[in-house]
Amino acid sequence: MEENKYLKISELNNYIKNIIDQDSFLYKVYLKGEISNFKNHTTGHLYFTLKDDTSRINAVMFAPNAALLNFVPEDGMNVLVEGRIRVYAPQGSYQIYVEKMTVDGLGALYIEYEKLKKKLASEGLFNPEHKKPIPKYPEKIGVITASTGAAVRDIMSTIKRRYPICQAILFPSLVQGKSAAPNIVEQIKKADSFGVDTIIVGRGGGSIEDLWAFNEEIVARAIYECQTPIISAVGHEIDWTIADFVADLRAPTPTGAAEMAVPTIIDTNNLIANYKIRLNKNIKSMINTKFITLRNFKNSFVLKNPMAIYEVKEQKYLNLMTTLKNNFLNIIGDKQRRFENLKMNYILQNPYQLIAPLQTKYDLLVNTLKLVNPLNILDKGYALVKKNNQVIKSSKELQIKDQIDIRFAHGTIKAEVQEIKKQNEKRNGVN
Partner 1 sequence: MEKSFENALAELEAIVKELESGNVELDEAINKYTEAMKLAKFCSEKLNTATKKVNEILTENNELKEFDVDTEA
Give yes or no for residue 237 binding partner 1 (CB under 8 A): no
Q: Are 101 and 116 in contact (CB under 8 A)?
A: no
Give yes or no for residue 189 binding partner 1 (CB under 8 A): no
Each as own residue / partner, the long-range contacts of residues 68-72 (CB below 8 Å, 24 or more positions apart, any chain) are: 68/100, 69/101, 70/102, 70/111, 70/112, 70/115, 71/102, 71/103, 71/111
Q: 37 or 282, CB closer to partner 1? A: 282
Q: Which amino acid is at 160?
A: K
Give yes or no for residue 391 binding partner 1 (CB under 8 A): no
Give yes or no for residue 271 binding partner 1 (CB under 8 A): yes
Q: 279 or 375, CB closer to partner 1? A: 279
Alpha helices by DSSP H, 299-349: 301-304, 306-343, 346-349
Among the listed residues 56, 100, 118, 190, the single contact to partner 1 using CB under 8 A: 190
DSSP state of 70: S
Binding to partner 1 (CB under 8 A): which residues in 127-156?
A: 135-139, 147-150, 152-153, 156
Q: 147 or 330, CB closer to partner 1? A: 147
Gyration radius from the chain CA atoms: 69
Question: Do strands 140-145 and 167-172 pair parallel, antiparallel, or not at all (unpaired)?
Answer: parallel
Phi, psi of 100, rounded to the nearest 5 degrees: -135, 145
Give yes or no for residue 297 binding partner 1 (CB under 8 A): no
Q: Which amino acid is at 297?
A: F
Give yes or no for residue 71 binding partner 1 (CB under 8 A): no
The answer to whether the Cα torsion of 13, 19, 22, 26 is positive or negative is: negative
CB of residue 228 vs partner 1: minimum separation in angstroms?
14
Give yes or no for residue 176 binding partner 1 (CB under 8 A): no
Phi, psi of 56, rounded to the nearest 5 degrees: -145, 160
Site string for partner 1, 320-339 (x = CB under 8 A): --------------------
Q: 285 or 322, CB closer to partner 1? A: 285
By CB under 8 A, name the binding residues for partner 1: 135-139, 147-150, 152-153, 156-157, 159-160, 164-172, 190, 194, 265, 268-269, 271-272, 275-276, 278-279, 282-283, 286-287, 290
